[in-house]
Structure 1
Amino acid sequence: MDNNAPTGRSPDHPNKATPDEPGSRRAAYYLGISWLDLAVSLSIMVIVGAVVIWVAIRVIQPAPPSTLTISAGPEYSRFWFAAQKYKEILARNGVTLRVLTSSGTLENLERLADPAIHVDLGFVQSGLASIPSVVSPDTRRGGLMSLGSVSNWPLFVFYRGPELTRLSEFKGKRLAIGREGSGTRQIVLLLLRANGVEPDSNAQMLPLVGEDAVNALLAGKVDAVFLTADSARPELTAKMIRTPDIRLLNFTQAKAYVRSFPFLSQFDVPMGAFDLADNLPPKATATIETTVELIARDTLHPALSDLIIEAAGEVHGGASLLQTAGEFPAPVAHDFPLSPEAARYYKSGKSFLYRTMPFWLASLVDRLLVLVVPIVVVLIPALRFVPPLYAWRVKSRFYLRYGELIVLERSVLDDPSEQSYVEFTKKLNAIEKGLNKLQMPIAYADHFYALREHISYVRSQIAALRRGNDSRQ
């Protein structure tokens, strides 16, 4: 018989069963899996996932609004009619467009820059925001962006009398320069002042526009009229160009204007453009033009940006006397930066989702992708950390008891008194009892038995130390 085999009796009390003797305590409870540890491990991943999804939701754009508001222009003006067409096109995609009339570009800008007024879009003549006396700094900093130019806006100057070639020659004359609040009036005033022509000083500026201005010129009540694409209707221009002594101003300094004012460009009226049969005008005539941009607040939903530019192409993309087919809309912006969404649209067109799906469905899928991508990219790889985390939680119970065992052993070695031995035995039995009541997965039974073996080893080493001390005494 092996005298060193464990007997299950306490060295200090040979007749008393040790805590690990069968029948003296409930055996360790083995599980197929520790559901609590697994739940805690998965909960950590769920919390991480919730944080990732929360961040994604915070940065994701909300669903596009179903209603937009555009500030267009005077009722029955060119851009009022354009806005009505926008309204029909957007309605096909489930978006309602409210059309507001306005006095013109200046009111459109003021509405866009005022957060208290709910306006999302507006037609704005380029160049106005560069005139400090016209547009306030707050308006220029109002968080506005351009969706691109939707039309050119040539300036036609008809005048009575001998041939003139420069705006400076209009000093002392009566000039119809457009209604108050219109972009055209402000641009014309800017150009006239650059030529030394000042209102109420050396020229009379009258707020006449369109047919009223033309009738005043024909009746001799004004000396010149300044018309733009909206007011220079074909029947009006034909009436003036056929009237003796009324001429279309040829901007011989057109290139100088373009260099001096970056928002201007040269526009050439072709020979015969107003009447092919009578070849009117009888020769090509140079003039200058601005553009009209579609300005939006920078809060405009990106999905709606694509939809609006697409509508602009349908409304403004045709050929006319003023433009070639497909010339507009164009990524041309002057006073406000071109929005990133618009720049992307002009470069690449509509995204795959919006090309292949209805607008409402593409918008939904687009937003869902923002949630799916973090789940696929972050959460699924993060699941590989669940098994190590689960194993660490199970093993941590053994690590805790190993720490207690080391501290207990060193306390006796530092103080080998009888009281220390008694305290050691008490605490060691408590460690072993706690270990034997431990619930653990069966896969970690080796850690359980290794710890029990080490407990027995420490018990035997301390018992040997105690017998050695007793024999020396």
Structure 2
Amino acid sequence: MARLTTLFGRGQIVSISIILSASLIIGLAIFIYLDSTAPNTITIASGPMGSTFQNFAEQYKKILAKEGVTLKIVPSEGSLDNFHKLSNPKVAVDVGFVLGGEVNGANIDNLVSLGSIAYQPLMIFYHGKAKNLLSDFKGQRLDIGKEGSGTHSLVLTLLKANGIEPNDGTAFVDNISGDSLRALEENRIDALFIMGDSTSRDLMHRLLHTPDIHLFNFTQADGYVRRINYLNKLELPKGSLDFGKNIPSEDLNLIGPTVELIARKGLHPALSDLLLEAAKEVHSSPGIFKNRGEFPAPQEHEFPISSDASRYYTSGKSFLYRTFPYGIASLIARLLSVIVPVAILLIPALKAAPAFYRWQMEYRIKSWYRALFEIERNAFMHWSDPHKREELLRRLDHIENSVSKIVVPPKFGDLLYGLRGHITFVRSSLLSLKTETPPGSGISKSAS
């Protein structure tokens, strides 16, 4: 410290110390109050027990657990219920599975999409002779799913487009979960509307092997997709369920929305990446209605794709979380959140410290010149008054005594010695004054 003080001067060391101390305090405050660590817990709204959505959530939970992140699963009535939970800030959920078409004019300013993860085809199984139009189901007993489910909401929209509405003679039956298949087989309902993707293969096998039960072919699929923009046209190829028995016996057209992984704005980027990694592992395999690697995909419908999801689809996980384990990457991210803003303040401050210190030293030394100029001017004005000259000499002694106490580092010695020389010059001028000869303005010339 003594060597540094000799080299730079005590004032500069003090200035730098103050800057470093202030930066350290600011950094600690940011570290304590600005918690940028990625959370270790996330909550997802799934669906009814045993549903496709609940199955997805369970798979996500296992994958996230490998990274030390706990996924809390909140059961729900289905897609519409998930959307309501996400829209309500009082409900503690972060993400959820939502089907296209659930918005219906609601406020979604606080919600973003992480992308589409699957198709959700609508399948209609029915009794009797073949039907070509949805309007053919008017006046029949229809099981359109539980209220609050994505199936219920979509089917009401489709039926309304075909002139079928509640209380027009069509009966909407709400069977107990698990009883719908038996109700159709026992002819207690005329048609069953259900949604599903890969998990529906066994169900389709069972129903299509049942005599007199058919799967509705959406012959107007292209029209539906163009009229309702969140729907997709899906094809069930001939024989794809049973090659030996050629089921189905012809290519069938289906329609259905995509399932989107919807999150609240503010979801930590690292958690967004982890969820999409899990979605990639769960949904990238091929299925009846999808190709390998087709999902997850940044298909934007009613919800905007989040900036973090867009970055993931373009370049993958962020560098830290791609390079380090989740916990370590999270800690590094938090440290960087402190270091970067402090560095932004500290670097220019340290660069400015020497210039500020030099200005301070020059000010301490050159400020005495004002007093010297004042003494010289008074000496010129009162050159004939010996008492005034004595007073000016005493003032000069005071200045010289004060200047002798100034301590400066060697590199500012020229300024200090120059000041002392000018004090001596003014003293000589005062002592050499004669009552008959006015003095000249010597200090200004010498100083210049």
Q: Sort the TM-score into its range (normalised by shorter chain).
A: 0.7 to 0.9
1:454 corresponds to which residue? 422
User: Which of the residues 35, 39, 42 maps onto 1:68?
Assistant: 42
1:25 corresponds to which residue? none
Give how far 1:193 is off.
0.8
Q: 2: CA distance between counterparts of 1:62 and 1:374?
A: 13
Give how far 1:246 is off.
2.6
Structure possessing the higher radius of gyration over alpha carbons = 1
User: Which of the residues 407, 411, 420 maps onto 1:439?
Assistant: 407
Give how far 1:319 is off.
1.9
- Check whether the contact 2:365–2:419 (CA below 8 A) recurs between aligned residues: yes
Give how far 1:163 is off.
2.4
1:241 corresponds to which residue? 208
Give how far 1:196 is off.
1.1
1:314 corresponds to which residue? 281
1:66-465 correspondence runs (5 A): 66-129=40-103, 131-132=104-105, 136-137=106-107, 140-141=108-109, 143-208=110-175, 211-229=178-196, 233-374=200-341, 379-380=346-347, 382-414=349-381, 418=385, 420-464=388-432
Q: 1: CA distance between counterparts of 2:278 and 2:199?
A: 25
Q: 2: CA distance between counterparts of 1:117 and 1:233?
A: 31
In structure 2, relative to structure 1, the CA distance for the partners of 1:235 and 1:450 (3 Å cut) is closer
Q: Provide structure 1 residue ranges, at least 5 long, that are not aligned to the other structure.
A: 1-30
- Check whether the contact 1:74–1:101 (CA below 8 A) recurs between aligned residues: yes
In structure 2, relative to structure 1, the CA distance for the partners of 1:33 and 1:353 (3 Å cut) is closer
Q: Secondary structure at the match of 1:426?
A: helix
Q: 2: CA distance between counterparts of 1:290 and 1:470?
A: 104
2:436 corresponds to which residue? 468
Residue identity opposite 2:270 in structure 1 = A
Q: 2: CA distance between counterparts of 1:221 and 1:349?
A: 51
Q: 2: CA distance between counterparts of 1:231 and 1:177?
A: 20
Q: 1: CA distance between counterparts of 2:438 and 2:305?
A: 94
Higher mean Cα deviation, 162-171 or 177-186? 162-171
**Normalised TM-score (structure 1):** 0.83
User: Which of the residues 15, 21, 45 maps onto 1:41?
Assistant: 15
Give how far 1:128 is off.
0.5
- Check whether the contact 2:197–2:288 (CA below 8 A) recurs between aligned residues: no
Percent identity, aligned pairs only, is 41
Give how far 1:34 is off.
6.3
- Check whether the contact 1:354–1:362 (CA below 8 A) recurs between aligned residues: yes
In structure 2, relative to structure 1, the CA distance for the partners of 1:445 and 1:208 (3 Å cut) is same
Higher mean Cα deviation, 303-312 or 208-217? 208-217
**Normalised TM-score (structure 2):** 0.88
- Check whether the contact 1:156–1:232 (CA below 8 A) recurs between aligned residues: no
Give how far 1:213 is off.
2.4
Q: Deviations over 1:56-91 (max 9, x none)?
A: 769976111111111111112122122112111111
Give how far 1:176 is off.
0.9
- Check whether the contact 1:331–1:338 (CA below 8 A) recurs between aligned residues: yes
Q: Deviations over 1:413-460 (max 9, x none)?
A: 455573643442232221111011222223322222211221222233
Give how far 1:214 is off.
2.6
Q: 1: CA distance between counterparts of 2:297 and 2:33?
A: 30
Residue identity opposite 1:124 in structure 2 = V
Q: Provide structure 2 residue ranges, at least 5 long, that are not aligned to the other structure.
A: 440-448
Q: Secondary structure at the match of 2:355?
A: helix
In structure 2, relative to structure 1, the CA distance for the partners of 1:424 and 1:33 (3 Å cut) is farther
Q: 2: CA distance between counterparts of 1:254 and 1:55?
A: 60
Give how far 1:197 is off.
0.8
Q: Secondary structure at the match of 2:373?
A: helix
Give how far 1:470 is off.
8.7
Give how far 1:267 is off.
0.5
